[in-house]
Chain A
Amino acid sequence: MKIAIIGASGFVGLRLVERLHLTAKAEIVPIVHAYRSLAVLGRFTLPWRVVNPSDPAALSEALKGCDAVVHAALGDAGQIVTMAEALYPAAQAAGVKRIVALSSAAVHTLTPASGTDEATPIIASQKSEYNTAKAKAELLLENARRGGKTELVQLRPSIIYGPRSRLVADIANQILSGTAYLVDDGSGICNAVSVDNLIDAIWLALTTPDADRNTFLVNDRDVVTWRHFYEAIAAGVGTNLDGVKAVQSPEFKESPSEKLARIAATKTVQATLPFVPARMKRLAKAAAAAWTTPGPGRGWTLPEPAGPRVTEEMCQLQSCRWRFPITKAERVLGYAPAHTFQEGMTRTASWLVFVGIARPQRAGTAGRPA
Chain B
Amino acid sequence: MTASPLPVPVIVSGCGAITKFFYASALGYLESRGVVTVAALCDPHEGNRAAVHAMFPKALSLARLEDAPLSLGAIVVVASPPKLHAPQTILALERGCAVLCEKPMAAGIADAEAMAAAAVRTGRPLAIGVYRRFFRGAQAIKDLITNQTLGPVRSFDVEEGGPFRWEAASDSFFKREITPGGVLYDTGVHTLDLLLWWFNEPASLEYRDDAIGGLEANCRLNLRYASGFAGEVRLSRDWTTKNLFRINFQKGSVAWNVGQAGSIALKLEGLGSVLDGELLPDRDNGLTLHTPGEGEGSPQAFIRQLLDIVAAVRTGSPVHINASEGLRSLRLIEECYRQRQPLAQPWLTPEENAGLARLETKGVAS
Contact = CB atoms under 8 A, between A and B. Distances in A.
B24 to A, nearest CB: 20
Contact of B212 (A38, A43, A164): A43
Interface of A: 18-19, 21-24, 34-36, 38-46, 48, 50, 162-164, 169, 196, 347-348, 350-351, 353-356, 364-370
Contact of B155 (A36, A350, A351, A364): A364
Contact of B346 (A24, A162, A347, A356): A347
A350 B346 contact: yes
Q: Of A23, A41, A50, A368, which is in contact with the most chain B CB atoms at under 10 Å from its CB?
A: A368
Given A22-B348, A39-B174, A366 B246 contact: yes
A23 B352 contact: yes
Contacts of B276: 369
B213 A44 contact: yes
Contact of B248 (A23, A347, A355, A366): A366
A35 B174 contact: yes
From A21, A39, A169, A196, residue with most partner B Cβ within 10 Å: A39
Nearest to A344: B347
Interface string B9-24: 0000000000000000
B282 interface: no
Contacts of B234: 356
A61 to B, nearest CB: 16
Contacts of B199: none
B216 A43 contact: yes
Interface centre among B168, B171, B175, B216 (most CB of A within 10 A): B171
Interface of B: 154-155, 157, 159, 163-171, 173-176, 182, 210-218, 234, 236-239, 241-242, 244, 246, 248, 253, 255, 265-267, 274, 276, 345-349, 351-353, 355-356, 359, 364
A283 to B, nearest CB: 28
Given A36-B164, A366-B246, 6 more contacts: A22-B348, A35-B168, A35-B170, A36-B165, A355-B241, A366-B267
A355 B157 contact: no
The 10 closest A-B pairs by CB, nearest first: A369-B267, A39-B164, A42-B174, A350-B346, A22-B355, A35-B168, A347-B347, A22-B352, A38-B174, A163-B347
Contacts of B246: 365-368
B193 to A, nearest CB: 21
Contacts, number: 126
A18 to B, nearest CB: 7
A19 B255 CA distance: 38
A350 B353 CA distance: 15
B170 to A, nearest CB: 6
A50 B253 CA distance: 46
A364 B213 CA distance: 36
Contacts of A163: 347
Given A348-B347, A356-B159, A24 B355 contact: yes
A23 B167 CA distance: 32
Contacts of B182: 42-43
A162 B174 contact: no
Given A45-B213, A355-B238, A365 B170 contact: no
Contacts of A36: 164-168
A45 B356 CA distance: 13
A349 to B, nearest CB: 9
A351 B159 CA distance: 16
Contacts of B212: 21-22, 43-44
Contacts of A354: 218, 345-347
Contacts of B214: 41-46
B215 A368 contact: no
A271 to B, nearest CB: 26
Contacts of A169: 239
Contact of A43 (B168, B211, B267): B211
A42 B217 contact: yes
23 contacts: A18-B348, A22-B212, A24-B355, A35-B169, A35-B170, A35-B173, A36-B165, A36-B167, A39-B163, A39-B164, A42-B175, A43-B217, A45-B213, A45-B214, A348-B347, A350-B346, A355-B239, A356-B159, A364-B248, A366-B246, A366-B267, A369-B265, A369-B276
Contacts of B349: 19, 196
B166 to A, nearest CB: 6
Given A42-B217, A368-B255, A164 B265 contact: no
B201 to A, nearest CB: 22
A369 B214 CA distance: 38
Contacts of A21: 212, 355
Given A23-B352, A347-B347, A355-B236, A369 B274 contact: yes
Contacts of B171: 35, 38, 42, 48, 50
A23 B355 contact: yes
A268 B215 CA distance: 44
A348 B347 CA distance: 7
B7 to A, nearest CB: 34
A47 B133 CA distance: 39
| Among B166, B174, B236, residue most surrounded by chain A Cβ atoms (within 10 Å) | B174
A342 to B, nearest CB: 14
A48 B173 CA distance: 14
B237 A40 contact: yes
A170 to B, nearest CB: 11
A24 B345 CA distance: 18
A156 to B, nearest CB: 24
A176 to B, nearest CB: 12
Contacts of A353: 346
A26 to B, nearest CB: 12
B181 to A, nearest CB: 11
Contacts of B274: 369-370
Contact of A369 (B154, B169, B253): B253
A27 to B, nearest CB: 14
A366 B265 CA distance: 13
B324 to A, nearest CB: 31
Contacts of B242: 356, 368
A164 B248 CA distance: 31
B150 to A, nearest CB: 12
Nearest to A19: B352
A258 to B, nearest CB: 26
Nearest to A351: B347
A39 B345 CA distance: 17
A351 B169 contact: no
Given A23-B352, A351-B346, A364 B216 contact: no
A232 B182 CA distance: 33
